[in-house]
Amino acid sequence: MRRLLLFVALAAVVVAVAVWVADRPGQIAIHWQGWRVDTSVAMLLLVTAALALAFALGLRFLGWIVRVPRRWRRWIQERRRRRGYQALTVGMVAVAAGDPEEAVRQARRADVLLDEPPLTMLLSAQAAQLNGDEAAARRYFTAMLDRRETEFLGLRGLLMQAMRAGDSPAALELARRARRLRPDTPWVLTTLFELESRAGQWRGAEATLAEAQRRRVLPVETARHRRAAVLLEQARAAEADDRLRDAGDLAARAHDEDRSFAPATAAYVRLLGATDRQRKAERVAEKAWPLGPHPDIVAAYAALAAHADPVDAARRIERLVAGLPDHVESRMAVAAAALRAGLWGEARRQLEAVVAERPSSRAYALLAEVEEGETGDPVAGQKWLRLAADAPPAEAWTCTACASVAAAWHAICPACGAVDGMRWQVPAGAPLLPRTAESA
């Protein structure tokens, strides 16, 4: 629109000048070096304008000629860049497709064609890793540390290498550096938490977890459970140092973070008992039972009155499970206590309910004891023991990462080092084979 207006205005001026000149006719004579030109004013103006236009066009053409080499150079560069990026793309695809030779070849090409080390170094490192050349990959990752834009990626590469090599101190150092660089990145916080936990640096792990929680990196439930796990490990360390009060406080905090976490409840109950607060210990166990019934709580609760006579002890266990009396763990606890007190009928009633709902080797073994105790015949329990051999194995602290089974809960799997991987469940690694006629 503006151009149109400008054009109209310009045309108007030209027309006005032409009209003005036409209205005032006249002649001009030029004498120069023996030459003589006679012409009208209008013609002179026209020729002058034509000459000016020709001059301007000539200048433009000259400029274009002068710029040809530069344009040529730019075209060549552009073509190199395009081919470089193409090599980079093909190289990345080769990495993703697991083709090491092609990845290395394209990485070299991209490196030659593109003068952009930040882009090609990562591909070169990945290609080297794919080729099994960890030393070369380490060199690339280390070189990446020197540039601001690739420092974080380089750190990540070195960290993953250190973790795979099992070099925990180096991994911890790198993870801390990564956190200083980018405290917002979720994997940095979760990795640092795991490394600190594995190194037994529970206070550091707790602080990292708090930061992860603040930045909403973990689901709320997971974060609270992990905090309970970390606090419980700290309580254990304090207890090992004979700092019973500290241990009790830490176990209380662990219990508060996750009321369904039986190891924390059991530890809290036990430590309350150890510091002469039996009544409170009983209340804590009774309140927590419906949230996470577990044999560890039964053991801690029973230990509060270790010298009670067996019938009183059985009554106490009934009080413990009163909040959830029909749960399998409740029935098992009552049955075991009744068995010790010689209350055969009660024990049998509970165990029969258990095997009807969820048969287990643990329940059949107790039924065998009831049978033997009641009849006084040491072989009376045989039929239950045979069933026990066929029944699903009992639940145990099982690592969800490597399926190994531990006698007690640990925040770190003793076998594979997985963090917070232990769950109370039937071990997955124990397949239940049907009994054959031969084995029977």
CB closer to Zn ion, 325 vs 429:
429
Q: C-beta of 195: minimal distance to Zn ion in Å?
A: 16
The stretch near Zn ion (CB under 5 A) out of 17-25, 33-41, 177-185, 413-421 is: 413-421
CB closer to Zn ion, 160 vs 401:
401
CB atoms within 10 A of CB 257: 19
Binding mask 414-433 for Zn ion (x = CB under 5 A): -xx-x---------------
* Structural tokens at position 223: 């974060």
Q: C-beta of 400: minimal distance to Zn ion in Å?
A: 8
Q: C-beta of 311: minimal distance to Zn ion in Å?
A: 42
The continuous run of DSSP H or E covering 27 comes out as strand 27-32
- Locate tokens 């027309």: which residue? 15
User: Measured between alpha carbons, how far is 209 from 353 in angstroms, rounded to an integer?
Assistant: 43
- Locate tokens 């209205």: which residue? 23
> How many degrees, rounded to 5, is the angle at CA 216 between CA 215 and CA 218?
125
CB closer to Zn ion, 73 vs 423:
423
CB atoms within 10 A of CB 301: 27
User: Is residue 172 involved in binding Zn ion (CB under 5 A)?
Assistant: no
The stretch near Zn ion (CB under 5 A) out of 34-42, 325-333, 367-375, 394-402 is: 394-402
Q: C-beta of 405: minimal distance to Zn ion in Å?
A: 10
DSSP letters of 131-142?
A: TT-HHHHHHHHH
CB closer to Zn ion, 258 vs 420:
420
User: Measured between alpha carbons, how far is 311 from 298 in angstroms, rounded to an integer?
Assistant: 16
Distances (CA, A) of 383 to 344, 356, 370: 17, 16, 12
Question: Interface residues for Zn ion in 202-231 (CB under 5 A)?
Answer: none
User: Measured between alpha carbons, how far is 65 from 60 in angstroms, rounded to an integer?
Assistant: 9
Q: C-beta of 399: minimal distance to Zn ion in Å?
A: 3
Which amino acid is located at 268 in the chain?
A: Y
The stretch near Zn ion (CB under 5 A) out of 69-77, 149-157, 174-182, 395-403 is: 395-403
Backbone angles phi, psi at 433, to 5 degrees: -95, 140
CB closer to Zn ion, 45 vs 401:
401
193 in Cβ contact with 419 (< 8 Å): yes
Q: C-beta of 407: minimal distance to Zn ion in Å?
A: 14
3-class SS of residue 83: helix
Can you say whether residue 37 is alpha, beta or left, with left for phi > 0 and alpha for psi between -120 and 50 degrees?
A: beta
CB closer to Zn ion, 50 vs 402:
402
Task: Give the residue, chosen from 399, 411, 412, 419, that forms a contact with Zn ion under the rule CB under 5 A.
Answer: 399
Question: Interface residues for Zn ion in 183-202 (CB under 5 A)?
Answer: none
Task: Give the residue, chosen from 130, 137, 174, 413, that forms a contact with Zn ion under the rule CB under 5 A.
Answer: 413
Closest to 422 (Cα-Cα) out of 436, 440, 404? 404
CB closer to Zn ion, 198 vs 227:
198
CB closer to Zn ion, 110 vs 399:
399
Q: C-beta of 167: minimal distance to Zn ion in Å?
A: 20
Task: Give the residue, chosen from 402, 408, 428, 432, that forms a contact with Zn ion under the rule CB under 5 A.
Answer: 402
Chain centroid to CA 339: 48
User: Measured between alpha carbons, how far is 360 from 215 in angstroms, rounded to an integer?
Assistant: 43
Task: Give the residue, chosen from 237, 380, 401, 406, that forms a contact with Zn ion under the rule CB under 5 A.
Answer: 401
CB closer to Zn ion, 290 vs 417:
417
CB closer to Zn ion, 210 vs 401:
401
User: Measured between alpha carbons, how far is 273 from 284 in angstroms, rounded to an integer?
Assistant: 11
Question: Interface residues for Zn ion in 285-304 (CB under 5 A)?
Answer: none
Q: C-beta of 418: minimal distance to Zn ion in Å?
A: 4
Task: Return residues touching Zn ion (CB under 5 A).
Answer: 399, 401-402, 413, 415-416, 418
